[in-house]
Amino acid sequence: MNKKLIKAAVIGALFSVAPISFAADEVEEIKAPSSMLDDFSFSANVGLYTDYVFRGYTQTQNEPAIQGGFDVEHSSGLYAGTWASNVDWTTAGGEASAMDKNSVEIDVYAGWAGDLGFYDLGFDIGVLQFYYPGNKTEGAADTDATEVYFGFNKDWMDGAFSTSVTNYVVVSDDAWGFTDMEGEMYHDLTVDVPIGSSPLTLTGHVGHQTFGASTYDYTDWKVNVDYAFNDNFSAGAFYTDTDQDKAAWTVDTTYLGDSVFGGYLSAGF
């Protein structure tokens, strides 16, 4: 998505004002406009995870991660946010590492979500920037990556379960230390199933990532159980695995795509 279009849409929503007309012999009562902030909602999240697993493979060499982010959403469905986590895959691999110095991933995103108006389908489109601040290894491909995404979601059987299908497309030349990535894709299918009236939600996921060099292509899958203590706090457990080629995805004796059992504590406000 064109960032200029997003910016223009946000500015237009913020500063468009309906014209006011005055008659020569009377002045209509003018009501004070509501605060522009009434059209916005703000949220924050933080979580502690036993492992940061991104699209099936570990970003922290199977070590814990602390993550968090902030989001702002307009009543029109426009939204923007940022999110961050500790990582160490960028500096793993010795002389073959992608970066000399880095320990954090920062994501920035913006998009538009809403309802299509038929078949109870929802949509979500946007742009996502992955940023890894630090020193890149000389001659290595960039770790930073830019994707655009579009997806659809739907609730079924009066909320008995919901599904979402999202496609992410790389629009940067390099991505995550790989070259020739422009046009490569990640396809995501996720199913959420609330367990009756309990605070438990079961989530299943399958995804497929392509690369410029097809030897790195792989499929990942995940099962997650989330227990919501209340509207703000939850805990969960997950299992994730991939069919990654072990030789291609082993760094410093760590097979990045190995199966992982993990857990987390999270909070949202």
Q: Which regions of the chain are under pLDDT 70? A: 1-35
Q: Report the C-alpha gap between 192 and 201 in whole angstroms.
A: 7
Per-residue pLDDT at 34: 58
Per-residue pLDDT at 260: 97
Per-residue pLDDT at 129: 98
Phi first, then psi: give them for residue 96, nearest 5 degrees: -90, 5
Per-residue pLDDT at 143: 97
Per-residue pLDDT at 170: 98
Token pair 């995550």: residue = 176
Per-residue pLDDT at 22: 32
Q: Report the C-alpha gap between 193 and 213 in whole angstroms.
A: 36
* Short-list 142, 138, 146, 210, CA closest to 176: 142
Per-residue pLDDT at 11: 34
Predicted TM-score of the model (pTM): 0.85
DSSP state of 175: B
Per-residue pLDDT at 204: 98
Q: Report the C-alpha gap between 52 and 32 in whole angstroms.
A: 48
Please give the structure tokens belonging to residue 66.
Answer: 């602390």
What dihedral angle (degrees, nearest 10) is formed by the CA atoms of 192, 113, 218, 132?
-120
Per-residue pLDDT at 37: 79
Q: Report the C-alpha gap between 182 and 151 in whole angstroms.
A: 19
Per-residue pLDDT at 102: 96
Write the pLDDT tens digit of every residue in 44-59: 999 999 999 999 999 9
Per-residue pLDDT at 252: 87
